Amino acid sequence: MDSSKPAGEPTRTILARILRSQRLTGREVCDLQLSASGNTIVVETAALIIRIAWCAPIHARAESRIWRAAEHAGLPVPELTAHGEVDGHEFVVYPRLPGRPSPTGVAVLREAGVKLAALHSATVDAFPAELDSRPRRVRRFALARRFVRDQVGNLPKGVPECVGRAEADWKSAFHTPTHGDFRGPNILARGGRLSGVLDWSDARRASREADLGSIDWARFCGVLDGYLTVAPDVRGTELVGYFAGRYGALAAGGVVTSGVALEAVERCVAAVELRGITFE
């Protein structure tokens, strides 16, 4: 069993009970992969993905409704096959989707952008206005403000104001169904085509720019180019603000260096300007 974070005894006990509930034994357990983040533990077998709520709830039924709405919009998404709870930890089970995460090919990234635009045109009924991740996102902007304050002399002109506009947008825009975390690890590709979009735990009603601003720099231009072929009317101020807010928060939280964040923001501004998207 491969684990990115060692599991303590209480964790192992809960994991064992969940695995038994899915009748996973023998070779499947020996070959499974285990990874963890601040909020979830993910168990991967050859055929299944089991995501376990650890520090934040999953809301399996709500997430399943979101998956169905996204599938109706044309996105390749998981299908919930089981869910349950052990010692207060909810878990969901779904078949492993084909493909590998974090694609870099131009064609698949443009396809991902087209699909993201389709999602943004879908009905919002299945998407909540608020999620348990909201306090964490509010903290994101608090961290971003700290980064802006410390790096104001190094940031491109207008970026601090963009971050402020994005924060206001995050608190007031509830008109568009969004994925919420459209980064490389949540995008699967196979044979040069988009094969899966994972981790809808941050999906909510927000704005298009909130989703576009969650894309990591390595995939930003490719996804944006595909998106603009379908939905060219993107607000540059909010887009730059969301992108800078995310990288600023990562830098303020010690996840990336200030240099990496500044370079990403500079490139984002240049990419937006190059595509004729204006921002203040």
Domain 2-96 has CATH 3.30.360.10: no
Tens digit of each residue's pLDDT (9 = 90 or more) over 162-185: 999 999 999 999 999 999 999 999
For the chain, give every residue range classified as CATH 3.90.1200.10.
101-274
What pTM does this model have? Answer: 0.89
**Structure tokens belonging to residue 250:** 């990562």
Rounded mean pLDDT, 8-33: 77
Residue 101 phi, psi dihedral angles, 5° rounding:
-80, 170
Tally Cβ neighbours within 10 Å of residue 197: 23
For the chain, give every residue range classified as CATH 3.30.200.20.
2-96
The residues, ordered by sequence, that sit 6+ positions from 92 with a Cβ below 8 Å of its Cβ are: 50, 51, 58, 60, 63, 64, 80, 82, 83
**Which CATH architecture describes the domain 101-274?**
Alpha-Beta Complex (3.90)
Q: Which of 98, 97, 55 is nearest to 80 (CA)?
A: 97
Q: What is the pLDDT of residue 4?
A: 44
For residue 153, is pLDDT > 80?
A: yes
Q: Is 238 helix (H, G, I), strand (E, B) or coil?
A: helix
Tens digit of each residue's pLDDT (9 = 90 or more) over 115-125: 999 999 999 99
DSSP structure string for 130-176: --TTHHHHHHHHHHHHHHHHHHTTTSPTTHHHHHHHHHHHHHH--SE
